[in-house]
Amino acid sequence: MTDRSDEEQLDFARSQGRVLFSFNASDFCRIHAELLAQGESHAGIILALQQRYSIGERVRRLLKLIATKTAEEMGDQVEFLSNWS
């Protein structure tokens, strides 16, 4: 899926019922807003700034998010790793 557009990436995640993780915050915030405005849904989006955290810190924050929020609570939500210190 590396050569697919952002919309195609999210469509694939939606078809699988999966939360999408991306560093592309601006585009996925826009796509999220567009989907909700159209009455569409998704399983959730997690966003991070690529240069901000080491891989270990990203994993630590992702694990904290996963331990705190259920799959149902992630539905139609955008979460930023910066909120999970």
Could you read off the pLDDT of 19-38 as tens digits, one per residue?
A: 999 999 999 999 999 999 99
Whether 1 is in a domain gets the answer no
Question: Which amino acid type is present at position 46?
Answer: I
pTM of the complete model beyond 0.85 = yes
What single-letter amino acid sits at 13? A
Q: Give the containing element (helix H, strand E) for 62.
A: helix 55-68
Spatial distance between the Cα atoms of 75 and 72, rounded to a whole number of angstroms: 5
- The predicted structure's pLDDT at residue 14: 96
**pLDDT for 44-57, tens place per residue?**
999 998 777 889 99
For the record, the structure tokens of 53 come out as 């955290």
Number of domains in the chain: 1
Q: Is 24 within the bounds of a domain?
A: yes
Q: Which domain holds residue 45?
A: 6-83
Q: Alpha-carbon distance 33 to 3, whole Å?
A: 23
